[in-house]
Chains A and B, each alone.
Chain A
Amino acid sequence: MATPVPLSHSLRLCRNLLCLLALASFAPAAMSADDEPPPFSPPGSFTDLGHFAHQDGATLFRAICQGCHMADAKGAVGAGYYPALAGDQKLASATYPALVVLKGRHGMPPFGDYLTDAQVAEVVNYVRSHFGNQYPDALTQAEVARLR
């Protein structure tokens, strides 16, 4: 049996691996590397299971929301669709997106258990002030708490 190597050795291999992988043939993608949205977080900063660790709205958007609503927040269409959040008039009241994040809607799972009030406020405020949305009023942590 091969003895599993100590962590330090593994980490060294990981660094080598990254170099190797830059040259390796991954499954070819429709988009080039230049078109790729930025990784949502630096390598190794995955959160512990059970709760998202990131605190700021932009990072939370990139770690969670963009998975379905896409990096440009324009949504996606397949057999069904994920709605666009870009230029979205449904965001006019901050209560609506906050409730959707907390409780879910249709097939979208609720995130209330995964996010603190502050995180919900952060990500809602981020979406309402980016992607062509310019709603000046900010949602507060206390308002989120009242919606739970």
Chain B
Amino acid sequence: MRSVQNPLSITRRDLLRKIGVSAGAAMMYQAMSTLGFARESDYRGPIDLAGAPKGTSILILGAGMAGLVAAYELRRAGYTVKVLEYNHRAGGRSWTLRGGDEYTELGGHKQKCEFDPGLYVNPGPWRIPYHHHGMLDYARRLKVPLEPFNQLNFNAYLHSSKDFGGKPQRYRHIYADYHGHIAELLSKAVNKGQLDAELTTEDKERLLQSLRTFGVLDKDYRYVKSFATSESRGYDSDGDRGAGLMPAPQFSTPIARDALLKSGLANYMVTPFDYDLTPSMFQPVGGMDRIAMALYNDVAPLVELDAKVTAIDQDERGVSVTYVDARRGGEAKHARADWCLCTIPLSILSEIPVKVSEPMLAAIQSAPYEASVKFGLQFKRRFWEDDERIYGGISFTDLPIQMIGYPMAGMNAGGKGVLLGGYVWGTNAYEFNAMTPEQRIRKAVELGAQIHPQYPAEFENGVVVSWHRSPFTQGCFANWSDAAREQHYVNLCQIDGRIALAGEHASRLPAWQEGAVLSSLDTISRMHKKIVATA
């Protein structure tokens, strides 16, 4: 988020609220999806942990991306590694739901995913930007195949329930018409001499020339129904430029300027041009958990699943962690090691007794965890492709589901498909969180039908993950306020005696897997240095 870097700017939270109020879901999403400090990853290739003292043990808490990366690297370096994981699976938020998977959320509601073979939804992270070098490098080293993730689809919809009779609009129409209208307006201002104080005569000419190209204006600098604008925004009917004696193409009519402005749909056009979301983006073939699972396959014998950590203690000689069987309870067990890397989310860690310094403890207790909800809905046929020619990408709406994401895999193959039936932030996410899974899915299907009327006839089954109900994270990610980060972040990232923390919460790329990877690598590098220096 650009304004975050301005020291005079309002806080991120203020900004989110103001954005939410004034610009609606589009800008809210834009802001939410760029909570990091838009920058290239600091990843500089595989780390070198040479010279690990023989027999030194490191206990890792949590087998999400941060914990798995640490286990993978530390074991290779020669450390004695053990991992404790609360869930009955590894991967943490790097997670894919497929047919047969079960998930019980806080409150006891159990869902069984009934997707057909080959179909899935990623309830957590679902895309990897080209500049997340760490994630990409692990995918390559572990031979996890990737495929393109297209954030932007010009044939997907932008939808305002209050405009155009509730009829969803094609992204390409909003895109072309908005650019056309602003180019026409700006040309008018230039031609009336209203920018004479700003521009030389030569620059006026250059600007007019570029506006004509940019906005697809006619010779009189007007944006009108024409061959040229139809070549840009599309003809009246898709594919209606046939051969032989097929009907001649009909030019399409641009959306009127006032209606377009009133709808606010142009606000949605920021998102795919944000640094974090521009092409190229990727997803692992088969589901986001493929990278985490590849790491896990390498370290599985070191990982104890179903281990719920109940206390973390340390003294001058080492770390002692108490845990119980997360499903069955029973007697407390103990794990001891020379050092500990704790990747437990702060939302959970703040509720566990942990022996660290006051500043680190204060940091652990200072990160609010954001609400977010994701739906996976299976349909009998891929009507978005067959009927509407939407292949991948995302539709945006002002309805509480906020987005509909189309699968990037299996395009044009026919058959069944799973949509991301909603990706929800802000107040709507809290409201969905307060419902049962059945109520949420019913609501998502009901709302989605306003965009795709095929929903009722084609819907088969669904799963939903509301992140505040997640037993292993109690939220989506650590949404540091600027003030809290300023006060606590450096303290959070220290090696406190023999304990250090890692995860997206200890990164400047919150909510992204890259943040967890970088945090893990940075922390184990520092820990390794300290171990070698004191050996």
Contacts and interface: CB of A to CB of B under 8 A. Distances in A.
Contacts of A82: 106, 474
Interface stretch (A90-98, A109-117, A123-131, A132-140): A109-117
A29 B110 CA distance: 5
Given A17-B445, A50-B21, A80 B437 contact: no
A51 B21 contact: yes
A50 B28 contact: yes
A58 interface: no
A142 interface: no
A68 B462 contact: no
A80 B13 contact: no
B450 A25 contact: no
Contacts of B450: 7, 10-11, 14
Interface in B347-378: 347-352, 365, 367-371
Contacts of B113: 27
Interface string A28-64: 1111010011011101001111111000000000111
Interface string B433-458: 11111110111011001110111100
B449 A113 contact: no
Contacts of A14: 446, 449-450, 456
Interface string A102-114: 0010111110011
A106 B461 CA distance: 36
B20 A49 contact: yes
A64 B433 CA distance: 8
B368 A110 contact: yes
B431 interface: yes
Nearest to A20: B456
Given A17-B456, A29-B111, A30-B110, A1 B389 contact: yes
Contact of A109 (B238, B369, B466): B369
Contacts of B157: 4
B515 interface: no
A contact face: mostly helix, strand, loop, or mixed: loop
B95 interface: no
Contacts of B344: 79
A37 to B, nearest CB: 7
Contact of A27 (B112, B387, B471): B112
Contacts of A36: 436, 438-439
B438 A26 contact: yes
A139 to B, nearest CB: 21
B167 A107 contact: no
Contacts of A108: 368-369
A76 B347 CA distance: 14
Interface residues of A, number: 61
How big is the B interface, by class? 35 or more
Contacts of A13: 449, 453, 455-456
A1 B435 contact: no
B25 interface: yes
Contacts of B350: 80, 106-107
A70 interface: yes
Interface string B301-333: 000000011000000000000000010000000
Nearest to B62: A79
B438 A79 contact: no
Given A7-B166, A49-B20, A50-B20, A67 B428 contact: no
A97 to B, nearest CB: 17
A9 interface: yes
Contacts of B348: 78-80, 107
B352 A7 contact: no
Interface of B: 13-14, 16-17, 19-21, 24-25, 28, 86, 104, 106-114, 157, 161, 165-168, 237-238, 308-309, 326, 344-352, 365, 367-371, 387-389, 398-400, 402, 425-428, 430-431, 433-439, 441-443, 445-446, 449-451, 453-456, 459-463, 466, 468-475, 479
Q: Can you list the 3 inter-chain pairs with the closest CB atoms, starting with the nearest?
A: A78-B471, A107-B347, A50-B20
Given A31-B108, A68-B106, 10 more contacts: A1-B387, A4-B453, A10-B453, A27-B438, A40-B434, A50-B28, A67-B371, A107-B348, A109-B475, A113-B17
22 contacts: A4-B167, A10-B450, A14-B456, A17-B445, A29-B109, A36-B438, A46-B399, A64-B430, A65-B434, A68-B106, A76-B106, A78-B86, A79-B326, A79-B348, A79-B472, A80-B474, A81-B351, A108-B368, A108-B369, A109-B369, A110-B13, A114-B430
